[in-house]
Amino acid sequence: MESSTQQRVIEIVLATAGLNSATQVTAETQLLNGGLSLDSVVVLELLLALEKEFKIELNAQELFEAQALKTVSSLAGFVDKKLG
């Protein structure tokens, strides 16, 4: 079962990547290589949308070190940690 954060992250990914809701995005969907293959502009838009939606500040270095952009699940987990 998906967490509330994970479902919201999926919705934001779909919106920022310009994908329709019929696109299959799950917790294990890769965001970059081999998955959705989001480009750098979409990744930046995604991070800004997440900051706005969750009222958090995302640090690029922390995201990189945590490998938070690997899958939807890893990104949602990172957001959950930031929310405390």
pLDDT, one tens digit per residue, over 31-76 is 998 899 999 999 999 999 999 999 999 998 999 999 999 999 999 9
Domain 4-83 CATH (choose: 3.40.50.720, 1.10.1200.10, 2.40.170.20, 3.50.50.60): 1.10.1200.10
DSSP collapsed to 3 states, 20-65: CCCCCCCCCCECCCCCCCCCHHHHHHHHHHHHHHHCCCCCHHHHHH
Q: What pLDDT shows up at residue 2?
A: 67
Q: What pLDDT shows up at residue 23?
A: 87
Q: What pLDDT shows up at residue 62?
A: 93
pLDDT at 1 over 60: no
- The per-residue pLDDT for range 8-31, each reduced to its tens digit, is 999 999 999 999 888 899 999 999
Sketch the domain layout of the chain as residue ranges: 4-83
Q: How far apart are CA 76 and CA 78, in angstroms?
A: 5
Q: What pLDDT shows up at residue 22?
A: 84
